[in-house]
Structure 1
Amino acid sequence: MIVIDCRCLQDDSKFRGIGNVIRSLITHLPNKHQYRLLSEKGCGTFECYGIELLEFQIPSNQNHYSKCLCDFLKAHHIKHCHFMAQYNIPANFNFPFSVTVHDLFNDSLLTNPKRYQQKLTPLLSNLHKAKHIIAISNYTKSTIIKQLPHSSVSVIYNGFNSSMATHANMPFDLSKPFNIKKPYILYVGNYEKRKNFLGALRGFIEFNKHSPHYQLVACTGHQPLIVPPPILWLRIKHYQKINLLSYLPSNTLATLYNHAAALLFMSYAEGFGLPVLEAMAVQTPAVISNRTSLPEVGQDAAMYADPDKPHDIAAALIKITTDQACRSSIIENMPKVLTQFDSKKQAALYDQLLTTLVQ
C-alpha cells in the first residue's frame, strides 16, 4: 500500500499551483485501490476522489511528530510514502519515501548566495534520504543533480487543469464584481521576489504608453500584510490601470484567462510555470520570462522577454496584441505543447514509478 501526502491541501498551498497539481493527480490516478491519502486530523477537509483517507492525529509534542507518523503508517500497513512537496518531509523521517521536488528556491535565492545555500542545507539532508526524487521539469532536475549528484531523479511534468476550458465558457460579468474592463493583460502570481511582480508592472506601464486603453488585472492570491513599497507606489500612481485581485475560485480565474488579451508572467525563477499552460488551455497567448523552466514549458507557444527590461516586456506585449500573424502562429502551436502536460499522463507515470518503488 502506498500513501500520498496530501497535507498541502489543508494549508494555504491549496490555493497555489501545488494544490492544483495534487488535485489533478489524485483525480486521475489509476489503481486507486492501492493508494491512501495522508491528512492531519482536524486540520481541514478536501475531496479524495475515491481514495481512502488516513487521518493522522498530530502529537502534542512536536518532537515526536516523525516517529508517531512512522508508527501510524506502519499500523495501516503502508509500505511507501510519497511526499508531494519537498518542504513537507518531517525531520528524521525513518520510513521508505519518495518526494516530488517543485524547486529548490528560498527567499535568499536572488540576494545572498551564501545564505541561500545555508538555508538549503536541512532540505538537502532530507532529500538525500529519499528512495527517489520526482522533479517537475528538467530545469528542476538539473538544480537537484547539482546539489545531490548521486541522487535518483526522474522528471514527471505537472498536468495542467484541463477543466480550465470548460470553466472559461461559463457566463460571467467581469465588470460588476471586479470593475474589469476589456481589453486587459492578466498577471497570475504572488508577491515573492522571484515572481518579479514589480518587473511585470514596469513592463506593463511601458506598454501602456503605447496602448493606453489596456488595463492590468493582477491575481495575486492572498495579499501580504505589507505590500512591497515599490509595488504600492506604482499601484497608487497608476490606480486606474492596475486592478489587484486576491484569491479567486477556479471558474472565475478561468473566465479571466479566457477574456484576457494576454498573460504576463515575468518570473526570475520557476520550477515549472503552471499559469502558462492554464492560459494555453483557453488559447490566450502568454508573454513570459526567458529564464529557468519557462522556455521548457512555453516552447514555441509563447513569447519571451527579459524580465529585467521593461522595454523588452512592452515590445513583446505590443507584438502579441497587434501582430495577428504572430498571435495566430502562437495559438496554433498550443495544442501540441499541451499534449505533453496531460493530467492523465502525469497520473499514469506517477502510478508506474511508485508501484516500481514498492516492489
Structure 2
Amino acid sequence: MRIAVDARCAADRGRTGTHTYVLNLLAHMVRLSKETGKAGFDFLCYTSEPPCADVVKLCGKEGRAFITLPFPWRRNRLWVDLRLLPRLLRDRPHILFLHHLAPLLLTPFPVVTTVFDLAFLHFPDHFPRRSRFTLKRNTAHAVRRAERVITISEATKRDLLEIYGIPPEKVSVTYPGVDQYHFKPCVDSGTFESVRQRYRLPEHFFLYVGALQPRKNLIRLLTAYTTARSRGIEWPLVVAGPRAWLYEDIVAALDATPGVRYLDYVPFADLPVLYSLAGAFVYIPLYEGFGLPVLEAMACGTPVITSSVSSLPEVAGDAAVLVDPYDTEAIATALQRMAEDEELQRALREKGLARAREFSWERCARETLGVFEEVVKGVRH
C-alpha cells in the first residue's frame, strides 16, 4: 500500500504541535509496519523544501522517501494544485494523508485528513482575519472531501459532528503520544544545574510552555498569578514559548507583571529539563484540540494545573488540578494550593507519570494504519 503524506512541516526548524504529530506518527508507522511484517506499506513524503537534518534522523531512511517539490510559498494552496497533484497522479498512491487541510481538486484516490481542532470557529477573534478565512474554507472542504477524518480527541470529534454534520463513522479518534525517551524526569545533576544557570531559574517556580496567542489565555493567568502573589506565594512564573500571532498585549502584560520571567523560544532539547525543574506546570487555554504540553509535563514528573474545558480533561484524567479557565479566582486558588501543598505535588507527580504512559506514538501509529486499511478495503469493495 502506497501512502502519500503531506510532509511540508518536515522543513520547519521549530517544533509546533503539527510538526510533532506528523513526524512522530510517520516514524512510528514505518517502524511498526516493519516490526509486524507489513512490508507492503510504502510511505511517500512530499515536501516543498528539503527536510531538516533532525527530521531525517527521526524518520530514518527505510520504508519511505522524502520527495521535494520546490515552490516559493509552501503553505500556499497553489503548491497543492500545481506541484503536489501532478506528482500524485504520476505516483498513484492508495491513500493521501493530509494535515494542512489544503483543498484538493478531485483525485482518483481516497483522502484521509487530520483535523486538530476547530478553535478558529469557537474563537474567531483570536485569529488574524486572513488565517480565519483560510481555515474556515479549507476545513469545510477537507472534511467533506475526505474519505475519513482523523482527529486527536473526542472533544474535537464532537465539534466536527455538531458543526459539519458528518456521520460519526467517518471520524476516527487517534490520541497522540508523548516521546518517553525524550520527555522524562531529569536525573543528571550536571544537566539539571546547567539548564538552571543558563535560564537563571530559582529553586521553585511555575512554568508555562506554549506559543503566545490569545487562545492560550495568558492574560487571565497573569491576573490570577498576581492575586496569588498578593496572598504570599513567592514562586516566579516562567513563560517559555515563541510569539505566534496577536501577541502584542500578551507581551506587554508579561513585561508589566511582577514575578514573571519570559524566556521566549526554548530549544526542544532543553524542554524536559525545564519541565523537571519546575515546581508545577500551568496551562489553562480556553480551548485545545489535545494539549501535548500537559502530557510532556506529566512525563517529566511535573505536577499540572490545566483547564476543565474541551479536550484537556480527556488528556489529564485525574492526574491534574482542573480549573475553569475563565475564573481567575479559581486559577489563583489552584496556584496557591499547589505551591503550599507538598502532598498534592507528590500525588500529582505519581499520577502524572502513570497517565503519560497511557499515551504512546506506537498506539497512535497502529490505529492510524488501521484507518488506512479500512479505507482501502472500503474503496475496493
Equivalences, count: 352
Partner residue of 2:85?
70
Are the counterparts in 2 of residues 320 and 326 from structure 1 also a CA contact under 8 Å?
A: yes
> Once the 2 structures are TM-superposed, how far is the Cα of residue 162 of structure 1 from its aligned partner?
1.3
1:262 Cα deviation (Å)? 0.6
Using the TM superposition, give the Cα deviation of residue 269 of structure 1 relative to its aligned residue in structure 2, in angstroms.
Answer: 0.6
Give the TM-score taking structure 2 as reference length: 0.83
Shift in Å, 1:120 = 1.8
Q: What's 1:53 paired with? A: 65
Question: How many angstroms does 1:93 deviate by?
Answer: 5.1
**One-letter amino acid of the structure 2 residue matched with residue 331 of structure 1:** R
Q: Provide the rounded CA distance (Å) in 1 between the counterparts of 2:219 and 2:65.
A: 41
Q: 1:56 & 1:233 partners in 2: Cα distance?
A: 41
Q: For residues 5-44 of structure 1, what are the structure 2 equivalents within 5 Å?
A: 5-11=6-12, 14-29=14-29, 30-31=32-33, 33=39, 34-44=41-51
User: What SS does structure 1 have at the residue aligned with 2:119?
Assistant: coil
Deviation of the 1:104 alpha carbon: 1.5
Q: Could you report, residue by residue, the CA deviation over 1:329-348 in whole angstroms, capped at 9, with x for unpaired residues? A: 33332344224311211111
Mapping of residues 1-359 of structure 1, within 5 Å: 1-11=2-12, 14-29=14-29, 30-31=32-33, 33=39, 34-45=41-52, 46-47=55-56, 48-50=59-61, 51-58=63-70, 63=78, 65-66=80-81, 68-83=83-98, 85=99, 87-92=100-105, 94=107, 95-106=109-120, 109=123, 111=125, 120-151=136-167, 152-166=170-184, 168-170=186-188, 171-172=191-192, 173-221=194-242, 223=243, 227-229=247-249, 231-238=250-257, 241-359=259-377
Shift of 1:203: 1.7
SS in 1 for 2:319: coil
Q: TM-score, normalised by structure 1?
A: 0.88
- Closer/same/farther in 2, CA of residues 155 and 219 from structure 1, 3 Å limit: same
The offset of 1:289, in angstroms, is 1.1
| CA–CA separation in structure 2 for the residues paired with 1:64 and 1:160 | 31
The question of whether the paired residues in 1 share the 8 Å contact of 2:281 and 2:305 is answered with yes
CA separation of 1:300 and 1:108: change in aligned 2, threshold 3 A: closer
Q: Which amino acid aligns with 2:49?
A: G
Counterpart of 1:89 in 2: which secondary structure? coil
SS in 2 for 1:15: coil
The answer as to whether partners of 2:49 and 2:70 remain within 8 angstroms in 1 is no
CA distance in 2: counterparts of 1:192 and 1:25, whole angstroms? 26
Q: In terms of mean alpha carbon deviation, does 128-137 or 299-308 score higher?
A: 299-308
Deviates more, 1:329-338 or 1:344-353: 329-338
Shift of 1:212: 4.3
Quote the Cα distance in structure 2 between the aligned partners of 1:63 and 1:332.
49
How many angstroms apart in 2 are the aligned matches of 1:11 and 1:274? Answer: 18
Q: Which amino acid aligns with 1:39?
A: Y
- The verdict on how the C-alpha distance between 1:108 and 1:259 changes in structure 2, with shifts beyond 3 A counting, is same
**Cα distance, 1:201 vs. partner?**
1.6
Where does the alignment leave 5 or more consecutive residues of structure 2 unmatched?
none
Flag the 1:149–1:203 CA change in 2: closer, same or farther, 3 A: same
Could you tell me how far 1:175 is from its partner in structure 2? 4.0
Per-residue deviation at 1:189? Answer: 1.5
1:71 Cα deviation (Å)?
2.7
Q: Secondary structure at the match of 1:159?
A: coil
- Contact 1:167-1:251 at 8 Å conserved across structures: no
Q: Residue 341 of structure 1 aligns to a residue in which SS?
A: coil
Give 3-state SS (helix, strand or coil) of 2:358's partner: helix
Shift of 1:147: 2.2
The alpha carbon displacement at 1:60 in A equals 7.7
The answer to whether the 8 Å contact 1:262/1:286 transfers is: yes
Helix, strand or coil at the partner of 1:31:
helix
1:194-217 CA distance string (max 9 Å, x none): 111111222222222234431111
Q: 1:285 to 1:275 in 2, by over 3 A?
A: same
336-345 or 129-138: bigger deviation: 336-345
Deviation at 1:227, TM superposition (A): 4.2
1:234 is paired with a residue whose SS is: helix
- Tell me if structure 1 keeps the 8 A contact 2:308–2:325: yes
CA contact 1:110–1:194 (8 Å) conserved in 2: no
Q: Distance in 2 between matches of 1:216 and 1:334?
A: 21
Q: After superposing the two structures, state which structure 1 stretch, 333-342 or 163-172, moved more.
A: 163-172
Q: Distance in 2 between matches of 1:200 and 1:155?
A: 30
Cα deviation for residue 22 of structure 1 reads 2.0
Unaligned runs of 5+ in 1: none
Amino acid of the structure 1 residue aligned with 2:9:
C
Distance 2:171 2:224 in 1: 37
Matches of 1:335 and 1:3, distance apart in 2: 35
- 2:112 match: secondary structure: strand
- CA-based RMSD of the aligned residues comes to 2.8
